[in-house]
Structure 1
Amino acid sequence: MPDFLSRRIHVNSLVFSVSLLLASVANLHFWSTLIDALGGATLARLPVLLGSFAIVVLLFHGLLTLASFRFVVKPALMLVVLSASAAAWFINEYGIVIDKAIIQSIFETDPREAVELLNWRLVLFVVMTGGLPAMLVARARVRFPTGARGLAQRAGIAAGALALAALLLVMLFKSLAPVVREHRELRYLLTPTNAAQALHAYVRGRSRIPVVVAPLGRDAVKGSHWAGQARRTVTVIVVGETARAQNFSLNAYARDTNPRLTREEGLINFANVQSCGTATAVSVPCVFSVFGREHYDEDRARRQEGLLDVLSHAGFEVLWRDNNSGCKGVCDRIAFTDLSTPQAGNHYCAGDECYDEGLLEGLPALIRGSGKDLVIVLHQKGSHGPAYARRYPAGFGRFGPVCESSEFETCTRESIAAAYDNTILYTDYVLSKTIDMLRVAAREDGVDTAMLYFSDHGESLGEGNMYLHGAPYIVAPQEQTHVPMMLWLSDGFADRFRIDRVCLRARRDQALSHDNVFHSVLGMLDVQTAILNPKLDLFHACVRNG
């Protein structure tokens, strides 16, 4: 055994060593961001930077000292070091931040999508920066203070470290306060406190989930435009995944990513739409809730029925077909079909990857055989990263060369964008195919049809050295919040509900958001209920009288 491993080390020295490791190696991106926020690493700013580093070390040392007991300290330090190493990898590699939404995504994502994030470079990084330090901690011969004196010593060290950190913070407050206020992402970059806070918020939220869900819109009924109508309606709501508006040629993107939708007669594109969140776990429940982004809270939304429940109360048969990681509680009380895994009858899978065309499999027969007015939600896999090249069949690899790897470090930004653009090209095909199916159903099956598409959130493709999504909304770049939305109505549907499509097209560039979806779906289907807000209903001003 090496001589340094045979020596006994005081537990306080061990904790301090780990605190130094966490403050430095695990937080390179934090310090880089802070330096940029301060205006650069200059000699004049050196006292602020050194003071900030001392604050972080003292903070970690004070908190970890509370766990510096025999049988506790080693497992605690090893867990902290390993989790901090993994968090640092994802922060450094993809430019993400660790908050509650990210933790929620980790627990609720499709395991197959999570596997795409694993690679040898991640393993090597965690082994070198987390595994080796954890092994040294495990093999260390630690000397512990005992008895009441030991408890007093720990309490004094913890209190002293935290007090000194607080004193330094007061001294540097004038310099740091404006920076922290303007760059709120810093709190989500400091590892491992970011992960601890996010995990606590997630667990606290989950533990408060009620058993009983409050009713919503039980007064919902079909309005006057339904009177005397013999034809059924079929409304398809397509929930896109990770599609950002600026990569749609419908929105003036340079690449022709929408060759079919551009030529689709009657399509209405809305070019200025903002998402409710930057992750599926937030945006999907938010967009189907009545609260809107400003008042949305996960706990509140889980306590309350949503849009699909209101439609059920009004007499619609509501179905959810999923090629993603579930509906995040939105479809708990309606029919659900999982099409995200290969199974008999799903001809649109390659290996363990199922393409979005599978969402349309069997739909014409389902529409034809149903005797009710239908609302069908199709939840896409869409453009979910980082393995964009797996999201589309080979025939849609028009743009290239493409990044075939989920290790963005090994790819150019151009190849990442090319793979992503191919996912938009495939979405263009799936949406056009959906419209064609609804057009045939209107003509041959005597039903009035409509399609509404919107994405849950956008995606960063290297802008500002950020990748993927999930940034806290307050600091999220527009690439993650600016989403596509479009509408198609059959002639019969538009005539039935007296919808003025010219009026809707005139609203193409109007500032809209996910907040409009809840009320606009009710408005387009003429569902009368006290919870309908006409100000958020896109159709309210575009319905002809008489």
Structure 2
Amino acid sequence: MKFPRIHSAYLPLAAASFLVLAYNVNFWKSFVAATGGFRLGNLPVYLGSALLLVLIFSGVLALVNYRRLFKPVVIALLLLSSVTAYFMSQYGIVVDASMVQNVVETDVREAGELFSWKLVQTVVLLGLVPSWLVWRLPVQYGGLRRSVLANGGVLAGSLLLAVALLFILFKSLAPAVREHRELRFMLTPTNVFQAANGYLKRKLTTPTVVAPLGTDAAKGSRWAAVGNAQRTVTIIVVGETARAMNFSMNGYGRETNPELARERELINFTNVSSCGTATAISVPCVFSDLTRDGYSEDKARSKEGLLDVLHHAGLDVVWRDNNSGCKGVCARVRFEDMSKPVPGDPLCNDEECYDEHLLEGLPEMIRNASKDLVIVLHQKGSHGPAYWKRYPAGFAKFGPVCQTNELEQCTPEAITAAYDNSILYTDYFLSRTIALLKEAGIPASMLYFSDHGESLGEKNMYLHGAPYVFAPAEQVRVPMMLWMSQSFSQRFHVDRACLAARSGQPFSHDNVFHSTLGMLNVSTAVHNPKLDLFQACIHDT
């Protein structure tokens, strides 16, 4: 195929137009909605905004419009934009620093679940084909001096026109941009560079020295009352992608919690919010002494967390993982990776292990422990989009289920059915954990909470990771439950009726750090009684 020769001065405008129009369907949908919905009277605003972006992109591309530089840069942008556009269109996500962190810190198995033939088709049609055309396009370049002058003219002209257009449209654009901050996370490919820049800033400013926290921690008076005659064990279950609204114990129509509903000693907290909408944010946050408003990755990584404080108090701490790691919070305690498939284990397949695998060997660990134990179990839970892979076949109670990661091929009912089955399996897993603690015959407790929720197509959003400022309730409201044996609540003087009476009050991940210290009667200056939900329900005699 022979292409007509094009002068290099036209390249930035042509490439900018294609980038703005071909890869930003979701952006334009949201932009139209943000400006009051589609109306013919708004047509000048839509066309003017498109031209404004084309001019800005064109000015930037003029900076690289040189022989042997322009084509590789544009091809890279086309390929990057095709991948980004696919995930934004497929799952309704937006791209910010947290989303980049999710991508970087995910494991191979989780990343593989996002692969699909539609992704391949999108990359071929919107990435490879345009890239091939760009590569084959004959371009007429002048000498270096002439190119510098021409590109400078394109840059200056584009920016001057953009400023003039912005002045004209400012009154119409300002309210939409100010009230809909999500728009800047949706414009491809600038969202990727903005997000990558934010992520790298976090990483580069992360200190290498971790400051100690709670080194004064010690077991309080309620431990001394019974001495060391009988050990205790506490299991903290960190759920994955479980949203509170799909738990029947919270009023959901389907019976997704048949086992937990029978646990008379279980206290279910019905109004709990997460610290973030992604594991990479919520897990470090919930195990830190920082509140959501004061949290940053730099602050959390620069000092020790809850597990370190418990270790300072003399408890043995173990983290068992069936997910993609502990995000740094277990760096100084014993870590056991339970996510790798074990040949011959009925709780594992060729790809991964079910959450019950986390319980293997726990009775022996508890029985042989020489100290009081805190064990963290990090679930695979309901991680999507392959919800149907998260539970054994025997838990496929609801159906028909969606069995593809291309969620647009499934009905909302099939997606929800697969997700609900994963919650049903979590219900069974938690009941098995409680049964294991009962059999141990020692003072025991279990605290369960999920790291974040999940969107199942509501408002055309899927999965999780939306910026918290406009994240939907489906991604923020999470389940939290507490189980204590009679001997545990008696030993630590916990008024169970008092806790049950507080179960409907608003709590969040902010309460977990301080409530765990309060529940286990760990005395330390870093304990904040105001965030300890046990504080009002401990009655010393």
- TM-score, normalised with respect to structure 2: 0.98
**CA apart distance, 1:84:** 0.7
Superposition pairs for residues 13-52 of structure 1, below 5 Å? 13-52=10-49
Cross-structure match for 1:402:
401
Quote the Cα distance in structure 2 between the aligned partners of 1:367 and 1:512: 30
Cross-structure match for 1:479:
474
Deviations 1:269-317 (A, max 9, x none): 0000000000111111111111111011111111111111111111111
Conserved? CA contact 1:459–1:479, under 8 Å: yes
Conserved? CA contact 1:353–1:390, under 8 Å: no
Matching residue within 47, 67, 71 for 1:70: 67
Quote the Cα distance in structure 1 between the aligned partners of 2:181 and 2:273: 21
**Residue 292 of structure 2: SS of its match in structure 1?**
helix
Conserved? CA contact 2:9–2:150, under 8 Å: no
Quote the Cα distance in structure 2 between the aligned partners of 1:458 and 1:260: 21
Quote the Cα distance in structure 2 between the aligned partners of 1:145 and 1:470: 47
Cross-structure match for 1:11:
8
Q: In the alignment, is residue 511 of structure 1 matched against residue 506 of structure 2?
A: yes
**CA apart distance, 1:87:** 0.6
Conserved? CA contact 1:238–1:452, under 8 Å: yes
Q: In the alignment, is residue 418 of structure 1 matched against residue 413 of structure 2?
A: no
Cross-structure match for 2:364:
365
Quote the Cα distance in structure 2 between the aligned partners of 1:274 and 1:477: 11
Quote the Cα distance in structure 1 between the aligned partners of 2:185 and 2:21: 16
Superposition pairs for residues 97-176 of structure 1, below 5 Å? 97-176=94-173
Gaps of 5+ in 2: none
Superposition pairs for residues 320-335 of structure 1, below 5 Å? 320-335=319-334
Quote the Cα distance in structure 2 between the aligned partners of 1:56 and 1:291: 39
Conserved? CA contact 1:435–1:451, under 8 Å: yes
**CA apart distance, 1:320:** 0.5
Quote the Cα distance in structure 1 between the aligned partners of 2:537 and 2:296: 31
Q: Which amino acid aligns with 2:12?
A: V
Quote the Cα distance in structure 1 between the aligned partners of 2:431 and 2:322: 18
Superposition pairs for residues 457-472 of structure 1, below 5 Å? 457-472=452-467
Quote the Cα distance in structure 2 between the aligned partners of 1:22 and 1:147: 26
**CA apart distance, 1:345:** 7.8
Change (3 A) 1:404 1:345: closer
**Residue 487 of structure 1: SS of its match in structure 2?**
strand
Matching residue within 480, 487, 494 for 1:492: 487
**Residue 438 of structure 1: SS of its match in structure 2?**
helix
**Residue 443 of structure 2: SS of its match in structure 1?**
strand
Taking only the aligned residue pairs, the percentage that are identical comes to: 59
Quote the Cα distance in structure 1 between the aligned partners of 2:157 and 2:299: 41
Quote the Cα distance in structure 2 between the aligned partners of 1:423 and 1:514: 22
Cross-structure match for 2:537:
542
**CA apart distance, 1:113:** 1.1
Conserved? CA contact 1:26–1:85, under 8 Å: yes
Cross-structure match for 1:189:
186
Conserved? CA contact 2:12–2:59, under 8 Å: no
Change (3 A) 1:302 1:159: farther
Quote the Cα distance in structure 1 between the aligned partners of 2:65 and 2:413: 49
Change (3 A) 1:502 1:415: same
Quote the Cα distance in structure 2 between the aligned partners of 1:314 and 1:345: 39
**CA apart distance, 1:344:** 5.6
Cross-structure match for 2:525:
530
Conserved? CA contact 1:63–1:158, under 8 Å: yes
Q: Which amino acid aligns with 2:478?
A: V
**Residue 294 of structure 1: SS of its match in structure 2?**
coil
**Residue 293 of structure 2: SS of its match in structure 1?**
helix
Q: Which amino acid aligns with 1:135?
A: W
Quote the Cα distance in structure 1 between the aligned partners of 2:365 and 2:140: 71
**CA apart distance, 1:175:** 1.1
Deviations 1:419-459 (A, max 9, x none): 00000000000000000000111x2xxx2110000000000
Quote the Cα distance in structure 1 between the aligned partners of 2:231 and 2:64: 65
Q: Which amino acid aligns with 1:221?
A: A
Aligned CA-pair RMSD: 1.2
Conserved? CA contact 1:242–1:383, under 8 Å: yes
Cross-structure match for 2:429:
430
Quote the Cα distance in structure 2 between the aligned partners of 1:316 and 1:65: 62
**CA apart distance, 1:355:** 0.3
**CA apart distance, 1:341:** 1.1
Q: In the alignment, is residue 178 of structure 1 matched against residue 172 of structure 2?
A: no
Change (3 A) 1:163 1:298: farther
Cross-structure match for 2:336:
337
Conserved? CA contact 2:66–2:147, under 8 Å: no
Superposition pairs for residues 282-361 of structure 1, below 5 Å? 282-343=281-342, 346-361=345-360
**Residue 232 of structure 1: SS of its match in structure 2?**
coil
Gaps of 5+ in 1: none
**CA apart distance, 1:48:** 0.7
**CA apart distance, 1:85:** 1.0
Conserved? CA contact 1:235–1:374, under 8 Å: yes
Superposition pairs for residues 202-213 of structure 1, below 5 Å? 202-213=199-210
**Residue 232 of structure 2: SS of its match in structure 1?**
strand
**Residue 336 of structure 2: SS of its match in structure 1?**
strand
Q: Which amino acid aligns with 1:243?
A: A
Cross-structure match for 2:389:
390
Cross-structure match for 2:374:
375
Quote the Cα distance in structure 1 between the aligned partners of 2:320 and 2:345: 13
**CA apart distance, 1:51:** 0.9
**CA apart distance, 1:71:** 2.1
**CA apart distance, 1:486:** 0.3
**Residue 349 of structure 1: SS of its match in structure 2?**
coil
**CA apart distance, 1:346:** 4.8
**Residue 318 of structure 1: SS of its match in structure 2?**
strand
Q: Which amino acid aligns with 1:152?
A: L
Quote the Cα distance in structure 2 between the aligned partners of 1:67 and 1:221: 61
Quote the Cα distance in structure 1 between the aligned partners of 2:276 and 2:124: 34
**Residue 148 of structure 1: SS of its match in structure 2?**
helix
Deviations 1:14-48 (A, max 9, x none): 22222111111100110011111212221210111
Superposition pairs for residues 231-250 of structure 1, below 5 Å? 231-250=230-249
Conserved? CA contact 1:450–1:493, under 8 Å: yes
Conserved? CA contact 2:271–2:506, under 8 Å: yes
